[in-house]
Amino acid sequence: MSVLERYEPLIDDPEAFYAACERPLPAAVRVNTIKTTVERAREALAEAGIEAEQTDWHPGLFVLPEAQAGGNWPYVHGWLHGQEEVSAVPARVLDPQPGERVWDCCAAPGSKTTQLAALMGDSGRLVATDNNMGRVSALRSNAERLGVTNLAITIEDSRNHSLKPFGGEEYDRTLVDVPCSCEGTIRKNPDVLEEWSYEHVEGTAGVQKGILRRAIQATKEGGTVVYSTCTFAPEENEAVLDHALAEEPCELVEFDLDLESRPGVTEFEGEQFDDSVARAKRIYPHHNDTGGFFCAKLEVTG
Amino acid sequence: MSDDVSTRFDRLPATAAERTVGERATREEVLDWWDERFGIDPAVFAEHSFWERGAGKVWAFRGDLESPVDIEGLGMTVLRTRQEHWKPTLEAVQRFGHHATRNRIHLSREQAAAFMAGEDQEMEWDGDWGYLIVTHDLAGEPEPLGVGLYTYDELKSMVPKGRRREL
């Protein structure tokens, strides 16, 4: 637990935090409203004899205490997608509307991409980018299984994303769910801390800053950018936001979320961050019995 | 990348009069095919543009872009053309098949399980031979599951290997 101990100064109840991090996370599924309704999916799960608990904060998310997400009839029809609770947060915060132009700049394997498509009613235009061919195959397979047709996929480094294939039009909204050190997934991947190093955090933070800056540039004035990670490291969260606030025309905005969370931190290990990063939300495993997550909402101001 | 045909999408010409690539299907032919084979009204695809990547594989994209476009994916693969009998994809049938009014074959739960496992099954069918939309009941209504090929008293499962499941 030595890596997690560095976050002890940020956490209200470290013992509960450590205990939660050691409990495995049950499977969860999101209902794919492109192909069915929440009500029919619930009926199909019951028909299959699968116990499913609707989450309080998101009516289309079910926790499956005894079952895996795949291998059942509603799944093979593309009515369900395996997606843990906190992973469903950023697309809801981005709140894309039917008909809008939306960019998911770190998209594969597509859980959040397909959620965005469903929120858009499979209309408008959704561009999904990833830099890894193998992961893009998984993204395509998931998108097709879930019946998504408003999606264009590019393979490139998001820091150099080109709007040219899309007529040069800026996006209404962009999701920046960046690669990170993933400590928040420890309940799914207990080995995640074995590969942790401070050098990796620093390197990753550099990439995150570049991607967030390009996302802000590619989004129209007045548009929305959501930045999210599954790490607790302020270097990859508040410090990245602080950098974007200094370098690009944007501001952090408040948002509602029906999950217990803590505000972004304005100081860590002697580093100070812009006061407005407190508008971001930190989600810890022991508060809602979920994975760990970080989410911030920005408005583009220029 | 622009020389790599595998990532180049070309929008289908609207009609044969606008065709510049010999064997490329037209939008009109694609709409007529869904209508004639399955009774799916062309209006179902009113918001979609159709694209070819490589030789024969047709994709449906909600919206439009300037053609050609060099990109990794554009909507979903819906149809294999440039062969005698055009073949719909499982994904297209699951997405649009509930609009079909003919050439739908309804299976019991047991038959549907064998179909999803990739098994061919003997069964009666007094309609056309060829590609059929396979349905079964889910949550109280018939739901399209995939594509079957009916010939000689047998329904062959066309479920791609990667989508097969033992249920």
pLDDT tens string A75-98: 999 999 999 999 999 999 999 999
| HSE-CB for A40 with a 13 A CA cutoff | 20
Around Cβ A14, how many Cβ atoms within 10 Å?
A: 16
On whether any CB of chain B is under 8 Å from the CB of A152, the answer is yes
Catalytic residue among A21, A180, A230, A250: A230
Kindly report whether the global pTM for this prediction surpasses the value 0.95: yes
Query: pLDDT averaged over chain A?
Result: 96
Cβ atoms of B75 and B48 closer than 8 Å: yes
Residues of A in contact with B76 (CB under 8 A): 143-144, 147-149
- The tally of domains found in chain A comes to 1
For residue A246, what are the domain limits? 85-300
Position B77: which residue type? T
Nearest residue in B to A132, CA atom: B72
List CB contacts of A248: < 8 A, sequence separation 6 or more. A213, A216, A217
Low-confidence ranges of chain A (pLDDT < 70): 1
Assigned domain for A158 exists: yes
Record: contact B139-A152, CB cut-off 8 A: no
Handedness of CA A169, A299, A154, A118 (dihedral sign): negative
CATH for A184:
3.40.50.150
β-pairing, B73-74 vs B87-88, is: unpaired
Q: How many CB pairs under 8 A join A and B?
A: 97
A12 part of a folded domain: no
Number of neighbours of residue A207 by Cβ within 10 angstroms: 18
Q: What are the boundaries of each domain within chain B?
A: 5-97, 103-163
In a domain, A76, yes or no: no
Burial class (CB in 10 A: 0-12, 13-18, 19+), A22: exposed
Report yes or no: A102 at the B interface, CB cutoff 8 Å.
Answer: no
Local confidence band at B3 (pLDDT 50, 70, 90 cut-offs):
very low
Q: According to the model, what pLDDT value does residue A230 have?
A: 97
pLDDT at site B4: 41
CB atoms within 10 A of CB A227: 28
Q: A141 and chain B: CB distance < 8 Å anywhere?
A: yes
Q: Do B62 and A149 touch (CB under 8 A)?
A: yes
Annotated binding site of A for S-adenosyl-L-methionine: 106-112, 130, 157, 177
Active site residue A230: yes
**Inter-helix orientation angle A238-247/A198-217, to 10°:** 40
Tokens of B54: 């490589």
DSSP symbol at A261: -
Instruction: Select from B137, B90, B167 the least CA-distant residue to A50.
Output: B167
**Residue A279: inside a domain:** yes
CATH domain B103-163 topology: 2.30.130
* Residue B6 pLDDT grade (very low, low, confident, very high; cuts 50, 70, 90): low
B69, A43: Cβ pair inside 8 Å?
no
- Contact between chains at B167 and A43 (C-beta distance less than 8 A): no
Beta carbons of A74 and B138 less than 8 Å apart: yes
Mean pLDDT of chain B: 94
